[in-house]
């Protein structure tokens, strides 16, 4: 599997980055041909224990095209997908009261670039580093659930 941005920093250094700056990430709003959306149950902070769309941080000096391809591979297990295969969905801000380390009084701020994509084959989609399991939900069902994170619901409002 490809290295992640956090692999290049010690945890303490990365915590300082989270404390001092916003992070830039890509979220993948993945649909199947039935119109259902893929969400994973988060196993890490922030958003621990909620259903969330797949995504990941952009690394320093990483071009958007390379970041998109890496994140799709890391999160969905699909290698070589180009950003041109997705539709730009806008910029979003995600603000969390906690952080990856659970350190007190350090919030997390993401500036998120959203991309919508539809997959032909959904049989083996998903990797389990960030999510313990995946489900497919219609946008209506996603919006109705209390356990889907508000930042994921924002993509459908």
In the predicted model, what is the mean pLDDT of the chain? 91
- In this prediction, residue 117 has a pLDDT band, given cuts at 50, 70 and 90, of very high
Digit-coded pLDDT (tens) for 135-148: 999 999 999 999 99
Phi, psi dihedrals of residue 63, rounded to the nearest 5°:
-70, 150
- What 8-state DSSP symbol labels residue 8? G
Digit-coded pLDDT (tens) for 24-77: 999 999 999 999 999 999 999 999 999 999 999 999 999 999 999 999 999 998
Half-sphere exposure in the Cβ direction for 112 (13 Å, CA):
22
Domain 23-156 -> CATH class: alpha beta
Alpha carbon distance 63, 66 (integer Å): 5
Task: Determine if the pTM surpasses 0.95.
Answer: no
Residue-range domain boundaries for the chain: 23-156
- In this prediction, residue 127 has a pLDDT band, given cuts at 50, 70 and 90, of low
């Amino acid at each position: 599997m490809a290295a992640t941005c956090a692999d290049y920093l010690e945890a303490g250094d990365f915590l300082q980055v989270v404390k001092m700056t916003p992070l830039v990430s890509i979220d993948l709003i993945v649909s199947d041909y039935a119109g259902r959306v893929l969400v994973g149950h988060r196993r890490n902070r922030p958003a621990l224990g909620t259903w969330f769309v797949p995504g990941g941080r952009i690394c320093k000096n990483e071009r958007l095209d390379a970041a998109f391809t890496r994140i799709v591979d890391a999160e969905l297990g699909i290698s070589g997908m180009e950003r041109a295969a997705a539709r730009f969905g806008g910029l979003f801000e995600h603000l969390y009261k906690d952080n990856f380390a659970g350190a007190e009084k350090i919030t997390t701020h993401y500036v998120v670039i959203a991309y919508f994509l539809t997959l032909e084959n959904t049989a083996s989609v998903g990797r389990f580093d960030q999510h313990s399991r995946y489900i497919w939900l219609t946008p209506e069902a996603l919006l109705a659930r209390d356990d889907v994170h508000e930042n994921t619901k924002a993509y459908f409002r």
